[in-house]
Amino acid sequence: MKVVAQIKDPVNREMELFETKFRDSMSSKVALLNRITYYIVNRKGKQMRPMFVFLTAKLLNNGEVNERTYRGASVIELIHTATLVHDDVVDESNKRRGFFSINALWKNKIAVLVGDYLLSKGLLLSIDNGDFDLLRIISVAVREMSEGELLQIEKARRLDITEEVYYDIIRQKTATLIAACCSMGACSVKPESAEVETFRKFGEYCGMAFQIKDDLFDYGEQKIGKPTGIDIKEQKMTLPLIYALNTCTKAEKKWLINSVKNHNRDKKRVKEVIAFVKDQGGLFYAESKMHEFKRLALDILLTYPQTNYRDSLELMVNYVVDRKK
């Protein structure tokens, strides 16, 4: 059995029912919108985020979920989908998971409006059912994701990023949504309990490890659906590069910054930067930090009794750092 199928196994029934509820939560009276949301639903990814919601809820509630858990998972997926649609517009990306993006098929204006629609649907799903605690979790996540993206853009202009600022960026940009999934799962079955914060931290550590792994792909040889060196081309300061900048000589630092700032479209120069970062030990350092975050996540998880839900979450944490794409 493939790892993702193994992770999903204890929540298979819930995931099937979730897909129906999720499709219903997207429905509209506008035919064009329904056509686009149908396209989105049929090109879904692994759906790791709803799995986090269901596995956390079942771990904390003797294998049971409730309607709030389904609504929480739907809200997460609606908001996540909205951010992906908007990201593709911002990045001028024509492909998403090997398929044409919404902006490639229906142009930017429609893509932005569809993203807004999905965002409002997610918020209304919580409001209409009085799930104000769940609404707070997702609203904080949306605010943090926006701040993280803007902080990254601001720093890319000046290339003056420290390791601490990098952690701030990835915590807000990526980890906050996975943290929201886990706290949402906990809150759906145990509102106002200490577990809501405990699992927010668990999700945050998973998300930090996930993003560092993503950054490492930029230096890899394997085909992962995006060309290597893309972060350098986009002047994104990732952990391997930050480490190299902090440990090299003044002259090397000057060359490195000049390469990222002024020669990031030069394929030969980008390859030289990748080789330099590797030689400087940037990849080894980033990997060690990724494993630190993985350990922190597992330390939280392993305080709970062993069940197949805990096993799946443990598999999920390991999958985050072991995945090939």
63: DSSP letter: T
Task: Enumerate residues 6+ apart whose C-beta is below 8 A from 249.
Answer: none
What does the pLDDT read at residue 135?
Answer: 93
Structure tokens at 97: 């998971």
- Other Cβ atoms less than 10 A from the Cβ of 249: the count is 8
Rounded alpha-carbon distances, angstroms, from residue 296 to 59, 195, 219? 18, 16, 25
The predicted model gives 15-21 an average pLDDT of 88
Model pTM? 0.89
Q: Torsion angle of alpha carbons 183, 112, 208, 71, nearest 10°?
A: 20
- What radius of gyration do the chain's Cα atoms show? 20
Task: Enumerate residues 6+ apart whose C-beta is below 8 A from 199.
Answer: 56, 60, 182, 183, 185, 186, 300
Q: What is the chain's mean pLDDT, rounded?
A: 86
Confidence of residue 103 (pLDDT cuts 50, 70, 90): confident
Which residue bears the tokens 């443990």? 314
What does the pLDDT read at residue 228?
Answer: 61
Alpha helix stretches (DSSP H) within the chain: 3-8, 12-25, 31-41, 48-60, 67-90, 102-128, 132-158, 163-170, 176-189, 194-217, 230-233, 239-247, 250-262, 267-279, 282-301, 308-322
Task: Enumerate residues 6+ apart whose C-beta is below 8 A from 31.
Answer: none
The predicted model gives 210-216 an average pLDDT of 91
Confidence of residue 225 (pLDDT cuts 50, 70, 90): very low
What does the pLDDT read at residue 129?
Answer: 92
pLDDT in tens, 150-189: 888 887 777 777 889 999 999 998 999 999 999 999 999 9
Confidence of residue 35 (pLDDT cuts 50, 70, 90): confident
| Cβ atoms of residues 117 and 27 within 8 Å | no
| Cβ atoms of residues 236 and 217 within 8 Å | no
Rounded alpha-carbon distances, angstroms, from residue 51 to 18, 58, 67, 83, 179? 10, 11, 15, 19, 13
Structure tokens at 320: 């985050």
What does the pLDDT read at residue 33?
Answer: 79
Rounded alpha-carbon distances, angstroms, from residue 32 to 41, 125, 238? 14, 21, 39
Q: Dihedrals φ, ψ of 95, to 5°?
A: -130, 145
What does the pLDDT read at residue 229?
Answer: 66
- Pick the more confident residue, 246 or 36: 246
The Cα–Cα gap between 312 and 299 comes to 15
Widest CA span in the chain: 62
- Pick the more confident residue, 182 or 24: 182
